[in-house]
Chains A and B, each alone.
Chain A
């Protein structure tokens, strides 16, 4: 009796399982789902890319938000149950995903060739879409003009001169680099140093100095929010978010460009997606110079297609991370370093935080 009951249950379970995980119904051809980072950034993409794309092609763009966790992309490719056609992702994840076979390799012939893009924007598995930067910003009311104001990356760590809580991105990238920069390591030596145990220990020692003053954020929109709520007196942030808080919401925030970390965002396609043609169609559209140049009307991120650079609105040029007056002391994120070391450092960083 017991035996037959188990068998029936097993058989029934199997059927139900097959029903749950079987081939998903074909998604209608006339919609494309794109995942991005939310907030002001998604808004700029909606205005610059999604709405014109819908107008030109009649294909509906469905938006989703994600937090950069590659687990979701991996789960999609493993179960062949694709929710997203195109995803806006960051460099180290792309290099890792490419190595692990979770991302589609990009056929640049379909996008007009690699040469159209600026240096490092055309990755094997990702097509550059913006140049952005991690900066830190402070509240102009807390440190008013005339008084001492933070101006260097070392000031972010100087809790005696500039007391108060600091908002920090809850991730080793870019805190490891910033710590070493503030500790006086020349920019050219930072990644070599971080490849050694002493370098990692030194970065953590520097971060120890402000650990008790740190409030950690993990979504881009939290940074300007913490600053606006006066929960922190200064915070690391993505430059476009602060730009929008200042220019659209009228906040009195000031960006410190010294020690900024330049990085790129890319469009990626999950491996084996049955509708890669649709994904290419969107990416091709979004990499047209005149389309891409439009994005900087809505957020202060730079273009990745060479031909788009002269089309940028000159008013916003000075607020882009690539402007000459903003790049006096900057570091370009070493994507290869993070592709190789992010697993080790993420674990070390979480353990460091938890202590």
Chain B
């Protein structure tokens, strides 16, 4: 095959370089200059935003424990078909690997990893590692020796778990974040009921965010309207009342609610004194407390975009509607509200997405049944030190936010959003 290079009709500059090339060069210089100006920002974003998120997403599929700490087993067990019990070579490789891992003090890591898949595996691995048969044991007796240490080594599912955990990358954590798991044959199945909570938690996260967003909208719209329509003298004072809490630390506001809402707190004291309710009621460490505190904290995120949009709407539109015969309600609904749509969209999107990732407030004023998905991300990061699971839950959360964002963009349009 030949390439035909047309040369005759190319426009050239005085020094014989094709004009196209020359232009491209000039263009490139300009671009390099522009890029070098935004390079610091780009670098900052890459280092503090893109990279950590990338690493985090990657953690959810990494599965290095078995393949690195029990390398010979990981290789040998691939030949086993998952039926009955594995052959002598697998058992011998496993015992040799486990012995080496115990020497290197890494067997705890592999025990922890296997336990994620099958409860009880941690204790089984650690106890076995303490009582391994001597190296000179003939290979044919090794499996019996293991079963002597713990009869669970005679069950297929324990060996199958090692086989499942052997590849260096896995979908295991992502499936577990959706209450799913692989069975021995590699089919996706439901996780056992005593540990499957994440679908419920995800539903709860969405439901609570929805309620908070709805309440914020119902409360925020009249406030923003009032701010936008009052004379400046009064509206400035009101604005300070909105902004002051907004500038106060989240932690301070949350703990302030603890003081107010607790059983011996101000709200209960006042209500009992006024006879609103006779017995002190539980307002905190439950869903009520979480809703109250979250709505209070997120309200400015609804009011501010609404206000900025409303401020730009000329009041003459309403008067025009009235002069054309619309009653106040009709002119409000048909003329005013449609013009505030960009603000409504921005407020709802902001509040909803911030709510989805809420952590501190539910942790401080909620009970165990009011925790949202971020609580479990923190739990797996700090308490159970299961970083794969924490990463997988983060991926699920990120994915949900993106889906929500996509739906929103499809129906409302992100270009219509106005933040101020």
On whether the two chains bind one another, the answer is yes
B119 at the interface (CB under 8 A from A): yes
| Interfacial chain A residues near B106, Cβ < 8 Å | 100-101
A351 / chain B contacts, CB cutoff of 8 Å? 194-197
Given A12-B43, A344-B120, A351-B197, A99-B126 contact (CB < 8 Å): yes
Query: Do B105 and A339 touch (CB < 8 A)?
Result: no
CB-CB contacts below 8 Å: A1-48 with B: 1, 5, 8-9, 12-13, 16-17, 20
Instruction: Pick the contact of B195: A1, A71, A348 (CB < 8 A).
Output: A348
> Cβ of B264 < 8 Å from any Cβ of A?
yes
Which residues of chain B from 369 to 397 have a CB within 8 Å of any chain A CB? 369, 371, 376, 379, 381-385, 387
Q: Which residue on B lies nearest to A16, using beta carbons? A: B47
Are A101 and B105 in contact (CB-based, < 8 A)? Answer: yes
What does DSSP make chain B's interface, helix, strand, loop or mixed? Answer: helix
Q: Is the CB of A350 within 8 A of B379?
A: yes
Cα distance, A231 to B285, chains bound together (Å)? 10
Known: A1-B28, A99-B108. A17 touches B43 (CB 8 A): no
Judged by a CB distance under 8 angstroms, whether A229 is at the interface is yes
- The number of inter-chain residue pairs (CB within 8 angstroms) is 111
Q: Which single member of A1, A71, A230, A344 contacts B31 (CB below 8 Å)?
A: A1
Query: Secondary structure of the A side of the interface?
Result: helix
User: Would you list which residues of chain A between 203 and 249 have a CB under 8 Å from chain B?
Assistant: 215-216, 229-231
The smallest beta-carbon distance between B310 and chain A, in angstroms, is 41
A69 at interface (Cβ–Cβ under 8 A)?
Answer: yes
Partner of A100 from B35, B108, B368, B376 at Cβ < 8 Å: B108
B263 and chain A: residue at smallest CB distance: A231
- B195: chain A residues at CB < 8 Å are 347-348, 351
**B369 partner, pick from A16, A340, A348, A355, beta carbons under 8 A:** A355
Interface size class of B (residues with CB under 8 A): 35 or more
Task: Pick the residue among B105, B112, B264, B376 that contacts A231 (CB under 8 A).
Answer: B264
Q: Is B39's CB within 8 Å of the partner chain A?
A: yes
Assess whether A353 is interfacial by the CB under 8 Å rule.
yes
Indicate whether A100 sits within 8 Å of B371 (C-beta atoms), given known contacts A9-B42, A229-B264, A343-B112: no
Contacts of B120 in A (CB 8 A): 344
How many Å lie between the Cα of A320 and that of B385 in the bound state?
Answer: 33
Nearest-CB residue, chain B, relative to A171: B383
Known contacts A69-B385, A230-B263, A231-B263; is-contact A339 B126 (Cβ 8 Å): yes
- Chain A residue at minimum C-beta to C-beta distance from B201: A354
Using A1-B31, A12-B39 as known contacts, say yes or no to A101 and B264 having CB atoms under 8 A apart: no
- B106 vs chain A, min Cβ distance (A): 6
Given contacts A344-B119, A351-B194, A354-B197, contact A69 B383 (CB under 8 A): yes
CB closest residue in chain B, given A337: B123
Given contacts A1-B28, A16-B43, A101-B106, contact A348 B127 (CB under 8 A): no
**Partner pick for A340 among B39, B42, B126, B197, CB 8 A cutoff:** B126
Q: Does A346 contact B (CB under 8 A)?
A: yes
Contacts of B376 in A (CB 8 A): 350
Of residues 102 to 139 in B, which have CB atoms within 8 Å of A's CB atoms? 104-109, 111-112, 115, 119-120, 122-123, 126-127
Q: Is A100 a contact of B127 with CB atoms below 8 Å?
A: no
Contact call A20/B369, Cβ cutoff below 8 A? no
